[in-house]
Amino acid sequence: MHETNAIEASLNAKIFNLFALNKAAQVLTSVLDPRSLTEMAVDVATEMGRAKSGALYVAGGPGESYRLAGVKSLDGGSFASDLGSAAAIARRAGSLKSRPFLSPIPGRTEEGLIVPVHLGELLVGFFMLLDRMNPEPWSQDDFEVLETLAAHVAVCLQNARLYKKVTEQYEALEVAQARRVQTEKLATMGTLLAGVAHELNNPLSVILGHTAILCQTSKDESLRARAGKIASASERCARIVKNFLAIARERPPERESVSLHQVVEEAVELLAYHLRSDGVDVVMALADDVPALWADPHQLHQVVVNLVSNAHHAMRKSPPPRTITVTSRFEPARALVRLEVADTGPGVPPEVRSRIFDPFFTTKPTGEGTGLGLSLCQGIIEGHAGSIWLADSTGRGAVFVIELPAKETPATVQSRAERDLSTTIGGRVVLIIDDEPEILELLVDVLRSDGLEAETACSGASAKEKLRERTFDLVLSDVRMPELDGAGLYRELERIDPNLTSRFVFMTGDSLSAETRQFIERVGALSLSKPFSPDEVRRVVRRALERAEDAQR
């Protein structure tokens, strides 16, 4: 009878363990977070092993040390956080076989149960159980149950790792797709703006050119004053078009001597309407001793526009006063120029400060931000050997700081044309090619006022006929024209008369177009960006004639 009761008790215990294992397997396989999984696995192991304390050690990978991943302790005992490699554990605990075994526990005085967690032949971890609740020692049945549990846990750990890997890859794919969509949007925007810029820059050239001529030739003081106001407004429009193009189009850095203050003023001017509409005041405290920088003005403009726009956005829901303060100073001892953009908004939450320069990270609502702005700013500033960071602000708002090296501008040698605009160049013959009659009329007036003879052609085809009929000292051609454009005309003349191509100057209303820029760089021609002033036309024409003379010597 006693034997029958023992068998029945053993059978009931096995049935209970099977149910417990089944339930544990269902619960564990539903958990994909590694930390939650290891904590839950320790809870299940200590419960099924009837132990007061337990721990799960897991290796990060083959050859790595086994670190504490989960722990449960009812008696307040502690476990070592790192047990070293499998070899080190084997030296302390005996042979690491595939079955549970009793061993002295590192850092503890009592003997405990060690249950290896194997995935195939690989030892991925092990349980340590201490302080058995029952007076009788662990039995063979306990060993088998815990061994089966360890096999389940091994598979669950592998699943959690695979899930994490897949999730990370999916997130990386989403970032790549978002970057591609944003790049395509910017490319489309750039194409549209290039067309708009071309259409706007032609009439702006006419307005700027004729107002400049009026200011130079009119004896009527009132008329000159009005012409000056028209010129100022036109120049502002031209800067806005140029700034939009600089933001929308990707272009390689082009370093030149840059006034940081001018960049700041143009950026604020671009955003002035929206800032005023939302009641945002801009205070500029710009030091007088800040030297010129050797930098790409378009890229610096992008940075300032982005920082001011971010400050504006941050303050839209803040109570007045809403103020953006832009401060500059020169630090001679460090040879650095420092620019600060501060706002009176809510500031940047501490939990996201470390991520604000990460690509595609944004705190703005969906559809209002791409997460590219600050990342691009950081890339631009670091590309100029500078640094940008979010300063610790004790009061309200955020303060972004930029430091750029105050490098000297490389020495340049002025050409004869740049040294003296009054150089006599009369008697030369120039062919002007453009499909805008107003541009042709303006350029004829400018060149004839300098004593040059000027002929015009309204298309590439008619220009080709004129070039066959007579010789010209210089050809001033627009790039974008219907049918035969400036580049096409150049290529045809390159085959007919290579000497003529050395006397080309190209005009373009889209100087930031990659295709246009690459073509002009390839042929080595001078270029004139629309909208232009009469003085700019004279300077480029003189330089081109100078180059043509030097080539004939």
In this predicted model, what pLDDT tens digit does every residue of 15-33 receive, in sequence order? 666 666 777 777 777 777 8
Structure tokens belonging to residue 158: 């592998």
Domain 12-167 maps to which CATH number in 3.30.450.40, 3.30.70.1170, 2.60.40.1930, 3.30.950.10?
3.30.450.40
Superfamily grouping for domain 257-405 = Histidine kinase-like ATPase, C-terminal domain (3.30.565.10)
Residue 228 has pLDDT above 50, yes or no: yes
Q: What is the pLDDT of residue 511?
A: 55
pLDDT band for position 186 (cuts 50, 70, 90): low
Q: Pick one of 3.90.550.10, 3.20.20.450, 3.40.50.2300, 3.40.470.10 as the CATH number of 417-552.
A: 3.40.50.2300
Rounded CA gap, 551 and 545, in Å?
A: 10
pLDDT classification of 143: cutoffs 50, 70, 90: confident
b/e string for 37-67 if b means 16 or more Cβ within 10 A? bbbbbbbbbbebbebbbbbbbbbeeeeeebe
Reported as type and span, the H/E element at residue 142 is: helix 140-217
Start-end of CATH 3.30.565.10 domains in the chain: 257-405
Predicted pLDDT of residue 10: 62
Q: What does the pLDDT read at residue 498?
A: 76
Domain boundaries for CATH 3.30.450.40 within the chain? 12-167
Mean pLDDT lowest for which of 35-49, 55-69, 324-338? 55-69
Q: Higher pLDDT residue, 330 or 240?
A: 330
C-alpha 330: how far from chain center: 27
Structure confidence at residue 168 (pLDDT): 87
Q: Between the CA of residue 479 and those of 191, 442, 496, what are the distances in Å?
A: 16, 17, 19
pLDDT in tens, 73-127: 766 556 777 666 655 554 444 444 444 555 555 555 456 788 888 888 788 888 8
| pLDDT tens, position by position, 157-176 | 888 888 888 988 998 888 78
pLDDT given for residue 304 in this prediction: 93
CA distances from 317 to 179, 280, 282, 366 (A): 29, 11, 17, 17
pTM for this predicted structure: 0.50
